[in-house]
Copies of this chain bind each other. A is one copy, B any other.
Amino acid sequence: MLAVLRLSHRIFRDKRISTHLVLTARAFGADEFYYTGEHDAHLEDSVEKICTEWGGKICTEHIKNPWNFIEKWKKSGGTVVHLTMYGIDLSDKLVELKTKENLLVVVGGVKVPGMIYDLTDYNIAIGNQPHSEVAALAVFLDQISDSLARKKKFKNAKKVITPSEVGKAMEKIG
């Protein structure tokens, strides 16, 4: 099980960033996407629409309390990784993290509470410079799957791309 938890979503300001996060989660192999902050039916609908067209399924769910959620995840034997520019570099823990079976990847929104740093099992940086939670999530998920997750086929897809060096080739099914 591979899940992503996005903290503190704000409908107006974060709409596109959170959409990019959930699409990145789906495309790079996550099974579930949770978010705290404001409940956003539009975000959930747009993910549903992508799954209808492009296949697969990623469970997208709003949760109220990240602390309880993270603690529950750990109690059931799972591992929690927080992506933060203050953490130690992914390269230092990559081999270890690849062995974890139930991984929850936490990505911050505005002002991540200090408690998150203590609660999670790992604070991992994708470089120690300010950049983007979308960038951090993508590189993290890609590396823990050795770039394999992004190449998998999705079930029940109505649109399938044939990779090509020039132009666009897409098959529409059904």
Contacts and interface: CB of A to CB of B under 8 A. Distances in A.
A52 interface: no
A88 interface: yes
A147 interface: yes
A24 B93 CA distance: 22
Contacts of A73: none
Given A139-B139, A166-B118, A161 B128 contact: yes
- 5 pairs of A and B residues whose beta carbons are closest in the complex: A127-B150, A135-B138, A20-B132, A27-B129, A27-B131
Interface residues of A, number: 54
Interface of A: 13, 16-17, 20-21, 23-24, 26-28, 50, 54, 84-91, 114, 117-118, 122-123, 125-132, 134-139, 142-143, 147, 150-151, 154, 161, 163-170
Contact of A138 (B23, B88, B118, B134): B134
Contacts of A151: 89, 91, 127
A86 B129 contact: no
B87 A163 contact: yes
A20 B163 contact: no
Contacts of A154: 129
Given A17-B17, A139-B142, A167-B117, A131 B161 contact: no
Nearest to A126: B150
Given A87-B163, A131-B138, 14 more contacts: A17-B20, A23-B131, A24-B132, A27-B131, A54-B129, A85-B161, A86-B170, A87-B164, A89-B150, A117-B166, A123-B167, A126-B138, A127-B151, A129-B154
